[in-house]
Amino acid sequence: MSVAGFEVEVDRGSGLETEEMTLNMGPQHPSTHGVLRFVVKADGEVMRRAVPDIGYLHRSIEKISEKVGYHGFMPYTDRVDYVAAMFCNQGWGMVTEKLAGIEVPKRGEYCRVIAAELNRISSHLLAVGTMILDIGAITPFFHAFREREKINDLLEELCGARLTYNYMRVGGVAWDLPPGYEEKVLAFLNQLEPMLDEHYDLVSENTLFRGRAASVATISAETAISYNLVGPNLRASGVRYDVRRDEPYSVYPELEFDVPVGTGMAGEVGDSFDRYYLRVQEIRESVKILRQCFQQIPDGPVVAKVPRKLKPPAGDAQIRVESARGDMSWYAVSDGSEFPYRCKVRTGSFAAMSIIEEISQGLMLADLVTVIASLDIVAPEVDR
Amino acid sequence: MLQQFLDSLIADGVFGGLPRDIVYLIGMAAAGALVVFGFVLNVAGVTTFVERRVWARIQSRVGPNRVGPQGILQWLADGIKLLMKEEVIPFAADARLFKLAPFIVTIGFIAAFVAMPFSSVLIVADLNLGILYITAMTSLVVVGIMVAGWASNNKWSLIGGIRAAAQIVSYEIPAALSIFTVILVTGTLSMQGIIQQQGWGPWDWFIFHSPFTFVGFFITFISLLAEGNRTPFDLPEAESELVAGFVTEYSGARYLFFFLVEWGNLYVISAILVTLFLGGWQAPPIPVISDSAVGRNVLEFLTFFLKSYFGVVLMMWIRATLPRTRVDQLMTTCWKYLLPIAFFNFMGTALWVLVFPEGFRFAEILLTAVGFGLLGYFAYRVAFHLRRSGAQITLSPLS
Amino acid sequence: MDATEIFERLRAQFSDKIVSVDAEAVDPSAVVEGDAIVDVCKFLRDTEDLRCNVLTNQTGVDYKEDGYIEVVYHLYSYTHRHYAILKVRTPRDQGTIPSVESVWKAANWLEREIYDLLGVRFSSHSDLRRILMPEDWVGHPLRKDFVEPTEYHGISTTRESLLR
């Protein structure tokens, strides 16, 4: 019998031998955060192997880019990662600007950073909330989503959409900040911070939660780098690397923020708890960045003059954006026409997904859920 | 009481020439039906509604508020909806067992109400081994769950069923040992007997009888939570891991039965705890009301019901707050911690009863003070968190 | 170390295996002979002052007019914070490149994706199967001459226009 490409032996012994059980987790399963599938070989409650099977959400976004032109592709990038669409917008904008040599006005860059950091908070809230939900606590999830809802409202005011923003343009952003936006965002941030304290006491200090997440699926720094794990997952393994700080883009050099790394505060460095807690810390850093942005934002135009039919010179370019799920690498090839010749996005979840098979060996069945959630895998980002 | 009532009816010739035993049977069936339809189903149903509203408050939501005033009839609508839904029986399932399982579960749950003392006279049958009977009957639920898990022919259901079996069987032991600490003190298994030896004041409750029963209360509470498949021990139906565990393949009315048992069990668990440790129906004497038998019984019933329902709400609160344990942690908790402590408690209580056959008033008062001190500290922490988060509190249950 | 220096080092080490270096482009890159790619990558990863310890991206581009598929390797060094971009050209039909899975485990899935979408084979790859498309899909969608099948297992892939 063949399941997802590997042979399954069914041995009906006469004595008391035990058999491994093949479990099919997904494509429809409450905790796969989208349409993912795992083929799990389990010995009772212990997993021997968990093989991810992806492709259920493949929408051929890279192929679409070859047909719609540089400006026209922007709304499609939203769908690469619909939980953190701003970063995909920004990535596509940046790679096109690099190809065509377009300079973004200062205010436009600040608008981008404000939108992106708001989106990072909302994405991390979702990651943290759903991880707790997968571990079995329901209330912290609702608390996280209540705050996320407020960000959705803020972003809706900014760009008219709550999920697929299509806010950025090649050369800047679509609209300037609406009047009174600063007050609204700051009011939100002021009430978010005490909520994070409460969240810490409710979840991070919770013994049951620590028992479920600490020392589960530890990823060493070497493994993480070899698998090209990026963003919070990499930093949780103790590698202090953030594209925003180490390969600065946009206006991040003008902003001050820390890059937290995993410390193994509940177990080992690089365990599920570190990955979870790192995201909570990053929310605080984003709050810091947002406050600085509103102090420093200059006046001026928000979008550069870009021809409607953009024809970048032939060549290729790659850029990296620190998305909510880590270093998102965009590679685009231009042949001098108005359509991109080839576009490729390498996302954080793709790498995170490929590591699951290695780290899931010998864990309990319930831990697979923790692992998926702690790696913050968003299915559309894996398949694109 | 029922027997006297039936005897008087027979003496009046209401049943004609029917044999005495058959009259008793009819009488018990009628009383059973009254309890089941008049109380059990309603309590279980209303509990689903209450839980949803309590959760909603905890989670800053509104909750169901459309069906009837403040959504009070939501549980009826849900029940009717589930009854009218198509029942899907998987093709590969063992159809007979699949159909049978919900009824085994329901029998185990409803039979527990037979020995449930609602007041000094309101009890279907005051069995002389009451608490043992209830423990045995609630354990019947596990048989149903295992049958359901097996018959569904679904690997997730099977894992859920096996988890349930391992969990309930394991936690039965510390639960039973802790229940026996109370039996050691009372010397009777009868539910009424246990309650009659307690008083209405907290210092007369068995929870504060000795340090051992004090610890025993918490062990019983944890163990019964685990037996009732409640968070943090809801592994058999862990929705994020096992889809829905043993109920994955169920739909319609059969699903309703599992639903009913899960929420009804909350009340059973609380009622056991209240009976054993929290003074049961013992109500303070109120001059006018307590004089008449009816008034006294109503008062006792209300006391018992409110105490039990407080436990139910407590369990809802726990479920809304805590995450779920993992199966190995669950077993470790039981076998490495709860069981030795429960055993130590058991021996300790035996010693205590030997040294202080009539109880030790000073310890009772002291433990009561400690108990209320803990509650006070808890309230203080709650106040601190409220102040820090600056959260807005709406005390009104209305939305 | 900037890109030109890295490519100088590569030329010194591998001389004729480095086909060409494009130092003037937006992102400087070097074209490497296919059979030397594993050695070049190992050299880049293991040499102390190069230390390109991560494969951030690997993808393929189909240059139909020129008759080859170019596989692009984006290497990055967490230690020294520099990039190295390598390109390997392979014929469009039956192109085979040695797999760099032994150098970086990240290459496993990235190469599967290139195989799936562009049809480049990777020799000594541990598990070369389709990853995004169904196992029985015909063709490689990101090739420029790919024609979408009209149906897949009886499911039509075209949709009637609602504006008829």
Number of compact structural domains in chain B: 1
**CA atoms in the 13 A half-sphere facing the CB of C65:** 2
Q: How large a percentage of chain A has pLDDT more than 90? A: 0
CA B375 to chain centre: 22
- pLDDT of C5 above 90: no
Structural domains of chain A, ranges and CATH numbers in brackets: 61-218+278-383 (1.10.645.10)
ipTM for the predicted complex: 0.85
Using the Cα atoms of residue A267, residue A271, residue A273 and residue A274 in order, give the sign of their dihedral.
positive
d(CA C137, nearest CA chain A) in Å: 12
Chains with ≥3 CB–CB distances under 8 Å to B: A
* Sequence-ordered list of residues with C-beta below 8 angstroms from that of C8, at least 6 positions apart, any chain: none
Tally of CB atoms within 10 A around B133:
19
Nearest beta carbon to residue B385 from set A133, A198, A365: A198
The bridge status of strand A2-3 relative to strand A6-7 is: antiparallel
Nearest beta carbon to residue C131 from set A55, A225, A239: A55
Tally of CB atoms within 10 A around B322:
23
Within the 78-117 window of chain C, which residues sit less than 8 Å (CB to CB) from chain A? 78, 81, 85, 104-106, 108-110, 117
C42 shares contact with chain A (CB less than 8 Å): no
pLDDT at residue A1 in the model: 46
Nearest beta carbon to residue A194 from set B231, B322, B390: B390
C135 shares contact with chain A (CB less than 8 Å): yes
pLDDT at residue B373 in the model: 92
Q: Binning pLDDT at 50, 70 and 90, where does residue A220 land?
A: confident
CA distances from B393 to A170, B58, B385, B386, B387 (A): 47, 10, 12, 9, 11
CA-CA distance, B323 to A366, in Å (whole number)?
12
Question: With an 8 Å Cβ cutoff, are C142 and A225 in contact?
Answer: no
- Sort residue B339 into left (φ over 0), alpha (ψ -120 to 50) or beta: alpha
Nearest beta carbon to residue A134 from set B59, B240, B320: B240
- Nearest chain B residue to A43 by CA distance is B159
| Chain C partners within 8 Å of A226 (Cβ) | 104-106
A94 shares contact with chain B (CB less than 8 Å): no
Stated as kind and residue range, the H or E segment containing B170 is helix B155-186
* Long-range Cβ contacts of B204-208 (<8 Å, 24+ apart): B204/B279, B204/B282, B204/B364, B205/B277, B205/B278, B205/B279, B206/B182, B206/B276, B206/B277, B206/B279, B207/B277, B207/B278, B207/B367, B207/B371, B208/B364, B208/B367, B208/B368, B208/B371
- The DSSP-derived string for B179-205 is HHHHHHHH----HHHHHHTS-SSGGGS
Chains with ≥3 CB–CB distances under 8 Å to A: B, C
Closest by alpha carbon to A18, among A40, A39, A46? A46
Tally of CB atoms within 10 A around B313:
16
CA-CA distance, A99 to A334, in Å (whole number)?
8
CATH number for region C3-156: 3.30.460.80
Q: Binning pLDDT at 50, 70 and 90, where does residue A4 land?
A: very low
d(CA C142, nearest CA chain A) in Å: 6
Amino acid of residue A268: E
A40 shares contact with chain B (CB less than 8 Å): no
Contact (Cβ atoms closer than 8 angstroms) between residue B153 and residue B117: no
Nearest beta carbon to residue A346 from set C56, C81, C135: C56
Closest by alpha carbon to A302, among A173, A155, A167, A182? A173
pLDDT at residue A178 in the model: 87
Nearest beta carbon to residue A54 from set C106, C110, C131: C131
Could you say which DSSP state residue A381 is in?
H
Question: With an 8 Å Cβ cutoff, are B324 and A201 in contact?
Answer: no
Question: With an 8 Å Cβ cutoff, are B240 and A31 in contact?
Answer: yes
Question: With an 8 Å Cβ cutoff, are C142 and A383 in contact?
Answer: no
Q: Binning pLDDT at 50, 70 and 90, where does residue C116 land?
A: confident
Question: With an 8 Å Cβ cutoff, are A318 and C129 in contact?
Answer: no
Question: With an 8 Å Cβ cutoff, are C26 and A227 in contact?
Answer: no
Angle, alpha carbons B319-B322-B328 (nearest 5°): 105
Nearest beta carbon to residue C59 from set A228, A327, A331: A331
Q: Report the length, in residues, of chain B.
A: 399
Closest by alpha carbon to A127, among A135, B211, B329, B288? A135
d(CA A304, nearest CA chain B) in Å: 43
pLDDT at residue A272 in the model: 86
pLDDT per position as a tens digit, C130-149: 888 888 888 888 888 888 88
Asked whether C and B share 3 or more beta-carbon pairs under 8 angstroms, the answer is no
Domain boundaries, chain C: 3-156
Burial tier of A205 (Cβ tally within 10 Å: 0-12, 13-18, 19+): exposed
Examine residue B383 and state whether it is found in any structural domain, yes or no.
no
d(CA A39, nearest CA chain C) in Å: 14
Chains with ≥3 CB–CB distances under 8 Å to C: A
Domain that holds residue B161: 2-359
- Nearest chain A residue to B238 by CA distance is A136
pLDDT at residue A225 in the model: 87
The bridge status of strand C121-123 relative to strand C96-98 is: parallel
Question: With an 8 Å Cβ cutoff, are C105 and A226 in contact?
Answer: yes
C133 shares contact with chain A (CB less than 8 Å): yes
Dihedral angle over CA of A70, A76, A78, A79, nearest 10: -150
- pLDDT of A8 above 70: no
CA-CA distance, A384 to A60, in Å (whole number)?
6
Residue of B324, B327, B387 best to disrupt the A interface, most CBs of A under 10 A: B324
- Sort residue B344 into left (φ over 0), alpha (ψ -120 to 50) or beta: alpha
The backbone torsions φ and ψ at residue A341, rounded to the nearest 5 degrees and listed phi first, read -80, -35
- Nearest chain A residue to C103 by CA distance is A226
- Sort residue C115 into left (φ over 0), alpha (ψ -120 to 50) or beta: alpha
Using the Cα atoms of residue A186, residue A187, residue A193 and residue A195 in order, give the sign of their dihedral.
negative
Low-confidence residues of chain B: pLDDT under 70? 1-3, 5-6, 9, 13-17, 124, 240, 391-399
Q: Which two tokens stand for residue C6?
A: 């890295």
Stated as kind and residue range, the H or E segment containing B132 is helix B130-151
Question: With an 8 Å Cβ cutoff, are A206 and B323 in contact?
Answer: yes
pLDDT at residue C50 in the model: 79
Burial tier of B46 (Cβ tally within 10 Å: 0-12, 13-18, 19+): middle
Residue of A36, A139, A374 best to disrupt the B interface, most CBs of B under 10 A: A139
Q: Which two tokens stand for residue B306?
A: 């409110």
CA-CA distance, A317 to A12, in Å (whole number)?
57
pLDDT per position as a tens digit, B197-206: 888 888 888 8
The bridge status of strand C83-91 relative to strand C29-32 is: parallel
A63 shares contact with chain C (CB less than 8 Å): yes
Nearest beta carbon to residue C129 from set A5, A246, A344: A5
pLDDT at residue A3 in the model: 46
pLDDT per position as a tens digit, C17-41: 777 777 777 788 888 887 888 888 8
d(CA A3, nearest CA chain C) in Å: 12
Nearest beta carbon to residue A138 from set B155, B320, B388: B320
d(CA C73, nearest CA chain A) in Å: 11
pLDDT at residue A14 in the model: 58
